[in-house]
């Protein structure tokens, strides 16, 4: 049952990143590339009917994490308390930026809320990437210093925002180091391209051509950062090289990720507007899948040799709770699928000015 729930948890995380990810990227595009009011409205038109519904997957992810892996939930939410509070405030300002912008038709009111939407979206993409980098790198479980644990609970840890070395290989690494920042920037660039393809898919006009011209430099920067992060990743304890030798089929995931990455480049001038968004979706899903598979069954690696890593087995609920929970998850999942099917059928195709969010 632990493996089934872990697959469910990863599925919900991936769904959230794919769906709300283009909302984050749209905010970044709104901040840097949309210069005129018409372009900004076009960005908002592309995400307007969908952005709040997409956040359902994050709420559901948190619920599944709490129900299926309570020890992991308690450990992560206490150890990452400060960055999680920052993320919460960024969510608030992103929502306010979307909803408050056009309450008053005056530049002194509109401009600050537009900036709030763009900056909060940028920082959310960055912080979620940094969070994923922390999960890959691991944390100092037990707060071990000089071979002695600082916490009586082995699953407890405290991670400062950064430490003096700014290194992922430090004894007590911070939330932010050069590796997690690199993963954060990978997330920013990936979601920006992902959103560009979503806007291309859902709208028309000169702004679409403008976005197509921006994809190449963004893609080149993304490839460079991916190469740096991969070199660092394979030197870390969290990368289980033996899994790939024991199960060669896992190599299929990074291969598919590579195909998606290449597709993100070559789809930019395609007349099939769905092709680019499909390629970026494949890259996101298989990229995360590759990282997760390389760590399995570990969910948060321990950076010290004294306290064992958190795995799906030592953090899961009792079997009875997992068996009962699967029934309620299926019911909830069916309701979510019905809702998303309805929304995307109503707003299928290109969104015109008649669909302006405000």
pLDDT of residue 236 exceeding 80: no
Report whether pLDDT(225) > 90: yes
What is d(CA 196, CA 26) in angstroms, rounded to the nearest whole number? 7
pLDDT at residue number 145: 75
Residue 356 has pLDDT above 80, yes or no: no
% of the chain at pLDDT higher than 70: 95
Is residue 176 scored above 80 in pLDDT? yes
**By the 8 A CB rule, do 175 and 22 touch?**
no
Residues 6+ apart with CB under 8 A from 82: 161, 175
Confidence check: pLDDT of 192 > 70:
yes
* Prediction pTM value: 0.90
| pLDDT band (50, 70, 90) for residue 174 | confident
Where b means 16+ CB within 10 Å and e means fewer, 19-34 reads bbbbbbbbbbbbbebb
With 70 as the cut, is the pLDDT of residue 305 above it? yes
| Model confidence at 286: pLDDT above 80 | yes
Burial environment of residue 186 by CB neighbours within 10 A (0 to 12, 13 to 18, 19 or more): buried
For the residues 237-247, what does the mean pLDDT come to? 63
Mean pLDDT of 61-80: 90
Per-residue pLDDT at 26: 94
Tell me the per-residue pLDDT of 6-64, one tens digit each, with 9 for 90 and over: 999 999 999 999 999 999 999 999 999 988 888 899 999 899 888 888 888 998 999 99
pLDDT at residue 358 is higher than 60:
no
Nearest CA among 31, 16, 11, 221 for reference residue 114:
31
Residue 108 vs residue 215, higher pLDDT: 215
Question: Cβ contacts of residue 198 below 8 Å, gap of 6+?
Answer: 22, 25, 26, 46, 47, 277
3-state secondary structure the chain: CHHHHHHHHHHHHHHHHHHHHHHHHHHHHHHHCCCCHHHHHHHHHHHCCCHHHHCHHHHHHHHHHHHHCHHHHHHHHHHCHHHHHHHHHHHHHHHHHHHHCCCCCCHHHHHHHHHHHHHHHHHHHHHHHHHHHHHHHCECHHHCECCECCCCCCCCCCCCCCCCCCCCCCCCCCCCCHHHHHHHHHHHHHHHHHHHHHHHHHCCCHHHHHHHHHHHHHHHHHHHHHHHHHHHHCCCCCCCHHHHHHCHHHHHHHHHHHHHHHHHHHCCCCCCHHHHHHHHHHHHHHHHHHHHHHHCCEEECECCCCCCCEECCCCCCCHHHHHHHHHHHHHHHHHHHHHHHHHHHHCCCCCCHHHCCC
| Cα gap 29→117, rounded to integer Å | 11
Contacts of 251 (CB under 8 A, 6+ apart): 244
CA distances from 210 to 139, 187, 213, 268, 329 (A): 42, 22, 5, 11, 42
pLDDT of residue 237: 60
Res 240: pLDDT: 58
Share the mean pLDDT of the chain. Answer: 87
CA–CA dist 27, 33 (Å, integer):
10
Encoding tokens for residue 249? 């089929």
The pLDDT value recorded for residue 244 is 66
In the beta sheet, which residues pair with residue 298? 311
């Amino acid at each position: 049952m632990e493996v089934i729930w872990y697959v469910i948890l990863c599925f919900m995380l991936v769904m959230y990143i794919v769906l709300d990810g283009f909302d984050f990227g749209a905010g970044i595009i709104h901040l840097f590339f949309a210069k005129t009011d018409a372009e900004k409205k076009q960005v908002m038109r592309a995400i307007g009917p969908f952005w709040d519904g997409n956040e359902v997957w994050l709420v559901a992810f948190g619920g599944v994490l709490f129900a299926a892996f309570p020890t992991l939930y308690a450990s992560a939410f206490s150890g990452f308390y400060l960055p999680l509070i920052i993320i919460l405030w960024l969510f608030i300002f992103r929502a306010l930026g979307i909803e408050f912008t056009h309450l008053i038709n005056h530049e002194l009111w509109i401009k600050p809320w537009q900036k709030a939407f763009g900056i909060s979206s940028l920082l959310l993409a960055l912080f979620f990437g940094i969070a994923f980098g922390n999960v890959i790198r691991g944390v100092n479980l037990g707060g071990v210093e000089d071979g002695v644990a600082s916490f009586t609970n082995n699953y407890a840890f405290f991670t400062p925002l950064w430490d003096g070395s700014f290194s992922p290989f430090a004894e007590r690494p911070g939330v932010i180091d050069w590796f997690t920042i690199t993963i954060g920037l990978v997330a920013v660039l990936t979601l920006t391209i992902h959103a560009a393809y979503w806007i291309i898919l859902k709208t028309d006009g000169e702004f679409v051509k403008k976005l197509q011209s921006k994809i190449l430099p963004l893609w080149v920067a993304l490839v460079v950062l991916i190469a740096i992060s991969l070199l660092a990743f394979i030197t870390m304890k969290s990368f289980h090289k033996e899994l790939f030798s024991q199960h060669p089929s896992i190599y299929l995931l990074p291969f598919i990720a590579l195909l998606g990455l290449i597709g993100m480049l070559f789809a930019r001038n395609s007349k099939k507007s769905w092709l680019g968004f499909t390629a970026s979706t494949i890259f996101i899903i298989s990229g995360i899948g590759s990282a997760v598979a390389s760590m399995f069954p570990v969910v948060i690696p321990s950076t010290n040799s004294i306290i064992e890593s958190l795995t799906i087995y030592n953090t899961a609920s009792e079997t009875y709770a997992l068996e009962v929970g699967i029934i309620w998850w299926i019911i909830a999942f069916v309701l979510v699928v019905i809702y998303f099917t309805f929304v995307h059928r109503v707003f299928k195709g290109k969104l015109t000015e008649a669909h302006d969010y405000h």
